[in-house]
Amino acid sequence: MIRRKIAGAEVGAVGYGAMSFSDFYGPASEESSFAILDSCLDLGVDHIDTSNVYGMGRSEERIGAWLKRRGGACPFHIATKGGITRDAAGNRRFDNSHAHLTEELEKSLKRMGLEAVDLYYVHRRDPEVPIEEVAETLAALEKSGKAKATGYSEIAPASLRRAHAVNLVAAVQSEYSLSTRQPELGLLQTCAELGVALVAFSPVGRGLLTDRPHGAEAVAKIDFLKGNPRFQEPNLSTNLALTDRFRTLAAQWGRPAASLAIGWLLAQGEHVIPIPGTRSPAHLREAAEALPLTPEEVAAVEAILPVGWAHGDRYNAAQWVGPERFC
């Protein structure tokens, strides 16, 4: 696998999104999670991305259990997040205070059995806390030695510049794929200019850009997808039909569709690091084998799936609460 950089660390160009260790996209056992981490080790997928809220700590706990079973030094570059919490009524809210981010990092380290994480993100911005103040908190966490580098998830280019002026931002995480092109309207370019890694989650469009996309029956069993505009009818049927042409192209080239979709992302800049999530070692292998597409291949793919092809917004109104809109 080719290598890319997050701050001073070098990682495989394709990482792994461990939200799949929770039940977000379907049941995930400890055994299946361990099998994925074993496969990551075999494939050179060494950047593992998790969060304190994935399964309310379950994702981190499973990483910690795997590390304990293996013994020795941690073989992965591990990123986690803090900043999303719930009030007394159970409603989701955001907390970017120094106390909250510090406390949640301590809990994450305990769950994973680590003395430090390689990367700690602010999962969502709290608009009540100036980002310069948040950047100072992250700088203090780095100085403490408990976070080797820090970053932000789903922020705007302007916020990135403000934060970076106070404390070096190692990475920004954002949804980015052939079906979600918003980062190209400033975030992709700003990250490249500042030397910030752009970590792309949902790089295969939540399954749309694979050889096995979710149909209506599967979508009905996944809470997030059944409320998402792109997976509601008539959008779902239209998006499946449009991506059939992409799958045909992948088959003609002798590649899995997921590999082709991730190869397209890798071609968007050497600072782009996709983090696909899956519960299948076989699907992980398809993603890990991706290589950057050539300019000619990029053009062929974009002729089939041009910018703006997807029907429906990437989030519904409730899902849009938190990510910063900048266009």
Report, as residue numbers or ranges, the catalytic residues: 54
Query: What is the spatial distance between Cα 169 and Cα 7, in angstroms, rounded to a whole number?
Result: 8
Residue type at position 193: E
Token output for 188? 């992709």
Q: What's the rounded Cα separation, in Å, for the pair 96 and 249?
A: 44
Do residues 172 and 153 make contact, with C-beta atoms less than 8 angstroms apart?
yes
Q: Are 156 and 187 in contact (CB under 8 A)?
A: yes
Residue 78 CB neighbours (<10 A): 24
d(CA 65, CA 59) in angstroms, rounded, equals 10
Evaluate whether 238 touches 292 at the Cβ level (below 8 Å): no
Provide the strand spans (E) within 228-270.
Answer: none
At position 323, the amino acid (one-letter code) is P
Helices (H) and strands (E) counted in the chain, each on its own, are 12, 12
| Cβ atoms of 100 and 82 closer than 8 Å | yes
Burial 151-172 (b: 16+ CB within 10 A, else e): bbbbbbbebbebbbebbbbbbb
